[in-house]
Amino acid sequence: MEFVFSFMYYQYFDPVYWLVIGVGMLLSLWAQASVKGNFRRYSQVGSRSGMTGSEVARRILRDNGIEDVSIERVGGQLSDHYDPRSRTLRLSESVYGSQSLSALGVAAHEVGHAIQHARGYLPLQFRSAWVPVANHGAGISMFVILAAFFLGGVGTVLGKNLAVLGVVLMGTTTVFTLITLPVEFDASRRALISLSEGGYLDREEIGGAKKVLNAAALTYVAAFVTSLMTLFYYAYRLGLIGGRRD
């Protein structure tokens, strides 16, 4: 029981834990505020082309020879995404029918994922294959970590083995957040190239769309940093890093 109480202490009263959580929360809040602020700002700026997000999405798909991706309108704010299973591009209300720089930037970004899928972009393929691994790992990692605490962490052979297993299972989520970074950055890169080369936005307008996409990228960076810090925290408290803690 001593190690169960120790686990609860670390989880709820340990200042190191709250430092990790606090930094992660601040990063996430800052990233979300940046996304919403930039999206709202450039939602008020209409594109000179007068095209909507859905129209630009269709044209960029056509420019890249992609004919088997459908486009749907969905509810929600910033709920835009590409579904590779059904080959469907789903755009939110604020993007689908809007002519703003924000709408065109977001729509082009999601098309960037469709282009990645069509071109067999390896990081996207790896991320898709890794989803069930991360889901299962995240689902049982805390149970294994709790058992490791109960058995004394690195103080016992079984405890150490469970500690390593628990951290590895938790690490599957960190790997997912890591591989998400190149996938999202590449989709934004493809989006800006498509918008510029297709003449959908001029040089001045591209700057606004780029700010929206860069802000969105911060959310993925924040997710990775938070996941990595949490992973190191549990590795530290279990004694896998820095020696055993009694």
Cα–Cα dist 111/64, whole Å: 10
- Beta-carbon contacts of 15 under 8 Å, excluding residues fewer than 6 positions away, are none
Residue among 2, 67, 110, 184 flagged as catalytic:
110
Task: Count Cβ atoms within 10 A of the Cβ of residue 7 and give its class: 0-12 exposed, 13-18 middle, 19 or more buried.
Answer: buried
Cα–Cα dist 152/162, whole Å: 10
Going by C-alpha positions, the residue among 114, 70, 115 that lies closest to residue 96 is: 70
Task: Count Cβ atoms within 10 A of the Cβ of residue 108 and give its class: 0-12 exposed, 13-18 middle, 19 or more buried.
Answer: buried
110 is an active site residue = yes
Cα–Cα dist 9/13, whole Å: 5
Cα–Cα dist 14/5, whole Å: 12
For the beta carbon of residue 41, count every other beta carbon within 10 angstroms: 16
Token code pair at residue 237: 């408290």
Residue positions annotated with a catalytic role: 110
